[in-house]
Chain A
Amino acid sequence: MTIRMPRSELIEPVDSETSESLVSRLEAAAQTRLGRSLAIRHVNTGSCNGCELELRALNNVLYDLERIGLRFVESPRQADVLLVTGPLTRNLRAALEQAWDATPEPKWVVAVGDCAVDGGVFKGSYAVLGGAGLSVPVDLTIGGCPPPPARVLAGLRTLLEANAK
């Protein structure tokens, strides 16, 4: 009895050009699909707590920040993003600068809320310097008083896209 060998076609060597292009596409996809995660450290520079309330809402099941790779961390040393809320008060300037110094490069600064953008309604007070940009370089601003969570989420997603590229 003889065992019949399958009559499969002979395997040709792969086209190296195609495989290389596939590898590069996979890497790019992985970078955008899997490599997009940012750790956020929230820095309060004098907020009335309104922006904090809306930021806390980002953790509820309807927004669920972590499903898109964003999470709040407790130390600026673990952070990629400093998320600044509130008008920059004179009493908190040093704290913001210390947090910025402690955040490793590459880092982003996002100013959330009208106050962090330019001082908001507190512009011109003796106790307030203005927006966060007066003390640290701001990469993204998200306006509103306070901005609803959906708007904060949209802003942070643009940051994710930019970070993935």
Chain B
Amino acid sequence: MTAANCIIRSAVAEICRPWLRHILSHDEWTALAHAAGAERWRLLAHWADMVQSHALFLDPDAETVVPVSTPVEAGHYPALSPILPAAAWYERMIHDLWGHEATSAADLRPWLDHGHWPHSPPLAARSEPRPSGEPPMLSGPDAGEAMVLPLGPIWGQVDEAAHLRLTLNGPAIVRAEALLGFTHKGTLTLMRGKSPRAAARFAARLCADATVAHAVAFAQASESAMDITAPPRAVGLRIVMMEIERITAHLDNLAEVARLADARAIRTHCSYLREILLRASDSAFGHRLMMDCVVPGGIAVDIAEGGPQVILRALGDIASKLPAIRRLHDAPALSSRLIGLGRVDREQAAAFATSGVVGRASGNSFDLRTVFAAGYQDIAPRCTVHADGDAAARQHLRLREIEESIRLIGAVLDILPPGAVTVQVPQVSGEGIGCAESIRGDVWHWLRLDHGQIAAAFARDPGWALWPLVERVLEHASADDIDLIRASFALPASGMDL
């Protein structure tokens, strides 16, 4: 048995369906972090509640998920970041929201808290009013006469709010530092005290281009906590919605990258195809983005009469245009622009637990649909991997994933069982974890119910893995390429700002 597994086996465990959450002492917690680093476990998420700090690991060999917790004593718990660098931003977030300090953390600057909230920390048992004043958010300027290029929070043409500060040496970026938290809406506080049905609205609004994935992960977490399962028809239709979301988002990304690279034809094709699919989902599910269509216990409404045909027709249009789009993509005008751009090597991607298109484009084959995601076993999703790790590889992979998603939707609709689409939601207590493969990678939701009401919750967006990675990637890039690199990573903001 491996060292990490030994530590876990000997610990007390609580039920956190579908897994066990192991309660570790501070020493065991630190020992586990060392073992996890050595055994290449992935840190999937790191969060807290009022009395404990939690971490979610993936054991890649056993293909199992390991939730662990350690008590917070006198406002402190041992930091993971000196051992696992990917934990650094989570620790800053935990400090801002719950007020727990990670002892000997790599970085203790605020993250979400920009000094404007009326009281803090907002999720602590005792939240104090505090004087206004802006805390130091970014590290000091570099020594010497370095030129600093600040971008955002209002940037791009129509974009999310985030701030990126680049230190330049001529056109080359020497250092990139991201600052997020601008779109922090207090989602976790709003969820607290509500029933899962009522709180699903907030889960669906964490990140709109992955609204279905977040809603599915949240619904699964609630269903696990209540120990119920959604009816098979609802599980099938959830997959249809998630794959439609993936196709529309990938088309949007292809269009956006094409716009920035001046490839008009691709942009026109992709944005048109995206629109016809959005219209199809509007007539099938009643909402263009399928927001609020997934609820704990099933889905909000069954697919409309004739809905499957409308969707399949739109998918047929997309499938018939894909070869032409791929040809345009491979033409030298665009491919010479994208090859080698924003390259991520396999080690880097693994270090930040990057999954999704970015992870798979750099040789990491992790895809939740092939392991934990409910309902996918029957349709055998194929996970495509690319080795190059650059923007061209990511765009190629997006095209491949569109193809695969079209196949998956057809397969699900073929075997879609009749029956109810929702089950009764009991008013019980419990704890659960849910996950879904979103357009950018794995989404994880955790929640604890107290007599049918949410006592604590956390949502992990793939952005937590993408942003720190992009900071590293930009360090070797040219400042002229920044928009294109950012677009090819499809960087989110709202989902991780909570």
Chain A residues in the interface with B (C-beta under 8 A): 42-57, 59-63, 72-74, 76, 86-87, 89-93, 95, 99, 121-122, 124-128, 145-146, 148
Pick the contact of A60 from B184, B271, B289 — CB < 8 Å?
Answer: B271
Chain B residues with CB under 8 Å of A59's CB are 271
Chain B residues with CB under 8 Å of A45's CB are 161
Instruction: Establish whether residues A44 and B186, one from each chain, have CB atoms under 8 Å apart when the complex forms.
Output: no
Closest to A51 in B: B208
Instruction: Establish whether residues A42 and B158, one from each chain, have CB atoms under 8 Å apart when the complex forms.
Output: yes
Given contacts A57-B271, A121-B201, A127-B122, contact A89 B153 (CB under 8 A): no
B119 located at the interface, meaning its Cβ lies under 8 Å from any Cβ of chain A in the complex: yes
Instruction: Establish whether residues A92 and B182, one from each chain, have CB atoms under 8 Å apart when the complex forms.
Output: yes
CA–CA, A142 to B458, complex, Å? 32
Interface residues on B, range: 35 or more
B275 located at the interface, meaning its Cβ lies under 8 Å from any Cβ of chain A in the complex: yes
CA–CA, A57 to B291, complex, Å? 17
Chain B residues with CB under 8 Å of A95's CB are 153-154, 161, 182
Contact with A along B263-286 (1 / 0, CB 8 A): 000001001101100100010000
CA–CA, A76 to B190, complex, Å? 33
CA–CA, A108 to B193, complex, Å? 40
Closest to B157 in A: A72
Closest to B201 in A: A121
Given contacts A48-B206, A60-B271, A92-B153, contact A145 B184 (CB under 8 A): no
CA–CA, A76 to B181, complex, Å? 22
Instruction: Establish whether residues A61 and B207, one from each chain, have CB atoms under 8 Å apart when the complex forms.
Output: no
Chain A residues with CB under 8 Å of B271's CB are 56-57, 59-61
Near A by CB (< 8 A), chain B positions 241-277 give 252, 255-256, 268, 271-272, 274-275
18 additional A-B residue pairs with CB within 8 Å, beyond A42-B158, A44-B154: A44-B161, A46-B182, A47-B183, A48-B206, A52-B158, A56-B158, A72-B157, A72-B158, A86-B183, A92-B153, A92-B161, A92-B182, A95-B154, A121-B205, A125-B185, A126-B118, A128-B185, A146-B208
Instruction: Establish whether residues B182 and A48, one from each chain, have CB atoms under 8 Å apart when the complex forms.
Output: no
Near A by CB (< 8 A), chain B positions 267-321 give 268, 271-272, 274-275, 278, 282, 288-289, 291
Chain A residues with CB under 8 Å of B156's CB are 74
CA–CA, A29 to B268, complex, Å? 32
Chain A residues with CB under 8 Å of B252's CB are 53, 56
Instruction: Establish whether residues B201 and A54, one from each chain, have CB atoms under 8 Å apart when the complex forms.
Output: no
CA–CA, A8 to B216, complex, Å? 84
What are 12 A-B interface contacts by the 8 Å CB criterion? Answer: A43-B154, A45-B161, A48-B211, A48-B494, A50-B289, A56-B158, A56-B256, A57-B271, A60-B268, A76-B154, A86-B183, A127-B184
Chain A residues with CB under 8 Å of B268's CB are 60-61
B67 located at the interface, meaning its Cβ lies under 8 Å from any Cβ of chain A in the complex: no
B365 located at the interface, meaning its Cβ lies under 8 Å from any Cβ of chain A in the complex: no
Chain A residues with CB under 8 Å of B158's CB are 42, 52, 55-56, 72
B370 located at the interface, meaning its Cβ lies under 8 Å from any Cβ of chain A in the complex: no
Pick the contact of B182 from A52, A89, A126 — CB < 8 Å?
Answer: A89
CA–CA, A72 to B116, complex, Å? 30
Given contacts A91-B116, A93-B116, A95-B154, contact A126 B208 (CB under 8 A): no
